[in-house]
Homo-oligomer: A and B are copies of this chain.
Amino acid sequence: MPQSRTRIAVVAPASRIQPALAQEVAALAEALAPGRVELVFHPQCFLTSGHFAGTDEERAAALIEAANDDGFDAVWFARGGYGAGRIAEQACAALTPAARRKTYLGYSDMGFLLAGLYARGCAVAHGPMPADLRRSGGEAAVARALRYLADRAPDTLEPHLDGKSAAFNITVLSHLLGLEIEPDLTGHVLMLEDVSEHMYRIDRAMLHILSQRRMRGLRGVRLGRVSDVLPNEPDFGEDEEAVVQRWCGRFAIPYLGRADIGHDAGNKIVPFGEPR
């Protein structure tokens, strides 16, 4: 294992976190790897502006500051919610070369930023966030994220990685199609997950995603967990795998099976592009 110290900036481009959570995650990091990981929670994480952890300007400024600071090895997104899409184009346009010398980690609503940062040549990965500590078994998820950022520990990675990959929340990917931040996923295996949606909405988002002509260039699709599905009236008649398989079949995109990602403590890391 490399013994260098890893400096990680934490910012919250969507919803806020509580200071107590930051303290617990910092303590966990110190317990896991004494003296080897430094977590710096940007004060913006604790701001409040309606739904968000500060105004769009405050959230974008914190992200840009962290991304362009050569003193950090990584930017870790504190939690999801909603709000990253509102600052993604602006933040991605303000990146300097220092932003491309670090790794970005998060998932769910952070897909807006994973997309835009990857499109601009940054190293991004889909995986757990500090707020996952509050999940059942969440300590393992947070530890996995820290071990990936500090050591690239192989057992933190999604086990099917092979060639170029990318991972997204289905609903978030549907909402970034056509934006300037949309990355070119040609030749990638696309891993997908979602939470708290009706099955008809999963179906509608898959229709939207895979109907895009440029998605014909995907090497394949893998389905992570679709959890806490809301009741469908009437019953939808298909589960999430049947839905995704059907849409893949419609457009002759290979369906490759399940992926070990999702809104849960088991959520494995998916680095975008070639495995790193």
Task: Give me the interface of A with B, judged by CB distance under 8 Å.
Answer: 48-51, 82, 85-86, 89, 174-180, 199-200, 203-205, 207-208, 211-212, 232, 234-238
A82-B200, A200-B82 as given contacts; A176 in contact with B208, CB under 8 Å: yes
A211 adjacent to B89 (CB under 8 Å): yes
When the two chains form their complex, are residues B85 and A175 in contact, meaning their CB atoms are under 8 A apart? no
A192 smallest CB distance to B (angstroms): 16
A18 to B275, CA, bound (A): 54
B204-A175 in contact (CB<8A): yes
Residues of B within 8 A of A174 (CB): 174-175
Q: Is the CB of B235 within 8 A of A50?
A: yes
The chain B residue sitting closest to A233, CB to CB, is B51
**Can you add 16 more A-B contacts, CB < 8 Å, to A176-B208, A178-B211?**
A48-B234, A49-B237, A50-B238, A51-B199, A51-B232, A51-B234, A51-B236, A82-B204, A85-B207, A174-B174, A175-B205, A175-B207, A177-B177, A178-B178, A178-B208, A179-B208
Contacts of A200 in B (CB 8 A): 51, 82
Q: Which residues of B contact A234 (CB under 8 A)?
A: 48, 50-51
Cα distance A252–B208 in the bound complex, in angstroms? 27
How far is B174's CA from A200's CA once the two chains are assembled, in angstroms?
A: 15
Q: Which residues of B contact A175 (CB under 8 A)?
A: 174, 204-205, 207-208
Partner of A236, one of B48, B50, B177, B205: B50
The CA-CA distance from A177 to B173 in the complex, in Å, is 13
22 contacts between A and B (CB under 8 A): A49-B237, A50-B235, A50-B236, A50-B237, A51-B232, A51-B234, A82-B204, A85-B204, A85-B208, A89-B211, A174-B174, A174-B175, A175-B204, A175-B205, A175-B207, A176-B208, A177-B177, A177-B178, A178-B208, A178-B211, A179-B212, A180-B211
Q: Which residues of B contact A178 (CB under 8 A)?
A: 177-178, 208, 211-212
Task: Output the least CB separation between A80 and chain B (Å).
Answer: 12
Give CA–CA (A211, B199) in the complex, Å. 27
Considering the chains assembled together, what is the distance between the CA atoms of A199 and B83 in angstroms? 12
**Chain B residue at minimal CB-CB distance from A89:** B211
Q: Identify the closest chain B residue to A207 (Cβ).
A: B85
3 interchain residue pairs of minimum CB distance: A50-B237, A82-B200, A175-B208
Minimum Cβ distance to chain B for residue A119 (Å)? 14
Chain B hits for A199, CB < 8 A = 51
- How far is B118's CA from A201's CA once the two chains are assembled, in angstroms? 24
